[in-house]
Structure 1
Amino acid sequence: MVNEPAFEEAVSLARSHPRLGVGLHLSLLCGRAALDPSEIPGLANASGGFTENPVAAGMRYFFLPHLREQLRKEIRAQFARFKESGLPLDHVNGHLHMHLHPTVFRILQDEIAAFRFNRMRLTRDPLLLNLRIAGGFYAYRLSHALIFGYLSGRARSWLQRNKVLHTERVFGLLQNGRVDEDYVLRLLQALPSGDSELYSHPSVDEFRNEFEALISPRVLASVREHGIELIRYQDL
C-alpha cells in the first residue's frame, strides 16, 4: 500500500531481502489516497482518506461514471509511486480485492501497456476444499466464494489472452483473519497439485495468530514433508 506512512520503511526492508516478491496492493478504499483530495474529490475526503465502506465504494465506482477518470488518475499515481521505489513489480492485487471490481479492472485493462504488469492475483478460494478443512462463518464464506468466483471468472479469459499470469487458486479469502497454524497445517495436507497462493494479514497485535502461523516450525516441517516449493509470482 504505497499511500500509507510505513511505505518507505517497507521498501527499505524489501531491499534488504531481494528474494522477496513485492506486489502493488492497490488501495481505493479503507486507506489514504496517493493524490491530493482536490484532484479526486469523489474518492477522498478533505483529509485524503477513502471511504471505509466497501459496499458503498463498490456501488459508487460502478454506477457513477464521473468517478472513472478520478479512479484512473489515482491508480496511475499508485503505480508511479511503486515504480519510484525501484523495486521489481512482482504482481498486482487490491485492498479487499478491489482490483477485480469491473470498473477498476477495466482501467487496468486499458493501462496494461503503461503499467507493465504481467502477473495478478486472481482471487479464487475453492469453497469445497475450504468447507472440508475449516468450519464456521458459513454465510461469509459462501457469499465471498460466489462473489469472487464470479469476478475472477470474468477476468480470467482476458488475463490469459494478454499473458498475465496468476496462480491456479488463492487461499485466505474464505479464512479472513483465521489463517492460523491449525488451518495452514490442514491446508498443506489437502493442497492440490499445481500452483497456489496463500495470503494472510500477519501482525503482532490484531492478527498475531496469522503471524505465528507463518513462523511456525510445524508449518515449515509440513512444507518440507510434502515437498512444497515456496515461490514468488515472478517465478510462475
Structure 2
Amino acid sequence: MKRLIFTADDLGLAPETNEAIERAHREGVLTAASLMVGEAGFEEGVRVARANPGLAVGLHLTLTDGVPVLPAAQIPGLTQKNGRFRDDMAALGLLLALSPVARAELAAEVAAQVERFMATGLGCDHVNAHKHYHLHPLIAAALMQAAAGAGVRCIRLPWEPQALVRAVDPASPRTAEWALGPWCRTLRRRALNWNLMAPDRVVGLAWSGHFGTARLRGVLPRLPDGVTELYFHPAVAGGFPGSAAGYDYTGELAALCDPAVGEALAGVERGGYAAMLLPKPLPPLS
C-alpha cells in the first residue's frame, strides 16, 4: 500500500518560507513541515503551525548555516565569531569526533532545540536536520537520544533510490547512493533502538531546491508501495536572508499547489510522519 508524506523544510526561517508553507498546505498537497527554532521567523512559524492543525510539524535541527538557541559563548566549538553556527561541516564533524568538549556542546545545543520546540506546545511529529547533518554518527546519536527522550517517534533518514529519480529525469545530479544506502540502513537500526521509525525512502535529495512540477508529476506514478517522503523548500520569493543561492523556491511552491498533482493523489493515503508510519490505535469497544 502506498503512503506519502509531503514535507516542507525551513518553516520558521523567514516570512517567505512561512507564507509558502501555509499556502502549500491549505491550497496544495503539503502534509508536514519541519520547524527551525533559532531563526528569525520562528514565532511566525509557530503561528502557522497552530493555525493549521492538519499540518504535522516536526523539528528541523540546525547545527550549520543558522543561529543557535544557546548563547554562542556556551558552545564556542560549534559557532563562529559572529555568533552563528560554523559552516565548515566537514571540519566540525572531525572536531566532534576528536573533542569530548565539542560533543558536550553538541548534546547541549540539540537538547536546547528540542526543548524550545516542546515549549511551543506543538506535538512534535518528527525530527530531521538542516542539510541532513544528522548523517554524522555523533549528531545522529545526540538527536535520536534527545528526540526519544521527548517522546518523538519518527525521523527522516535520507536514502533516495537513484533508479527512481533518474527514471524521471536522467540528467538528475547523482548522489552517493552506494554509501548512503548502507549507512541509512545502519542508522535505521540505531533509530529502532530509540523506538524511532523512518520512511522507507525519501525523494528530493538529488532535486533539492529544484523539485518542480514536471519532476513531481513524473515521480508520483513511479513510487513503489510503502512509505515515501517527498520533501521540498517552498517560498513565495527567493533572495531572503538565509535563502540558498540558485534555489527555485517559487517553482517548488507551484509544484505543491499544482491541481494535476492533487488529482493524481486521489485515493492515495498521505499525511505526516506519525500518521503514515505508526500503528493506528484500535477503535474503542462498543
Do Structure 1 and Structure 2 share a fold, with TM-score over 0.5? yes
CA distance, structure 2, for counterparts of residue 209 and residue 112 of structure 1: 32
Where 1:165 maps in the other structure, the secondary structure is coil
Where 2:72 maps in the other structure, the secondary structure is coil
Q: Does 1:197 align with 2:232?
A: no
Structure 1 residue aligned with 2:255:
213
The Cα shift of 1:177 comes to 1.4
Give 5+ residue unaligned stretches, structure 1.
none
CA distance, structure 1, for counterparts of residue 193 and residue 39 of structure 2: 34
Question: What is the number of equivalent residue pairs in this alignment?
Answer: 231
Structure 2 residue aligned with 1:180:
212
Give the structure-1-normalised TM-score.
0.91
Question: What's the % identity of the aligned pairs?
Answer: 35
More displaced 10-residue stretch of structure 1: 45-54 or 31-40: 45-54
Q: Does 1:167 align with 2:181?
A: no
User: RMSD value over aligned CA atoms?
Assistant: 1.7
For residues 94-147 of structure 1, the C-alpha deviation after alignment (integer angstroms, 9 at most, x for no partner) is 001112310111223444553322111111111111111113254xx233x344
CA distance, structure 2, for counterparts of residue 39 and residue 7 of structure 1: 21
Q: CA distance change for structure 1 residues 49 and 157 in 2, over 3 Å: closer, same or farther?
A: same
- The AA in structure 2 aligned to 1:231 is G
Structure 1 residue aligned with 2:28:
none
Structure with the bigger RCO (C-alpha within 8 Å, sep 6+) is: 2
More displaced 10-residue stretch of structure 1: 126-135 or 176-185: 126-135
Q: Does 1:124 align with 2:169?
A: no
Contact 1:23 1:89 in 2 (8 A): yes
More displaced 10-residue stretch of structure 1: 70-79 or 160-169: 160-169
- The AA in structure 2 aligned to 1:142 is T
Moved over 4 A (4+): none
Where 1:68 maps in the other structure, the secondary structure is helix
Contact 2:127 2:147 in 1 (8 A): no
Q: Does 1:233 align with 2:273?
A: yes
Structure 1 residue aligned with 2:130:
95
The Cα shift of 1:61 comes to 2.7
Contact 1:29 1:57 in 2 (8 A): no
CA distance, structure 2, for counterparts of residue 150 and residue 68 of structure 1: 25
CA distance, structure 2, for counterparts of residue 6 and residue 81 of structure 1: 14
Q: Which structure dedicates a bigger proportion of its chain to strand? A: 2
Q: CA distance change for structure 1 residues 164 and 170 in 2, over 3 Å: closer, same or farther?
A: same
CA distance, structure 2, for counterparts of residue 73 and residue 19 of structure 1: 31
Q: CA distance change for structure 1 residues 112 and 231 in 2, over 3 Å: closer, same or farther?
A: closer
2:58 to 4, 23, 31: 23
Give 5+ residue unaligned stretches, structure 2.
1-35, 239-248, 278-286
Where 1:57 maps in the other structure, the secondary structure is helix
Q: CA distance change for structure 1 residues 202 and 51 in 2, over 3 Å: closer, same or farther?
A: same
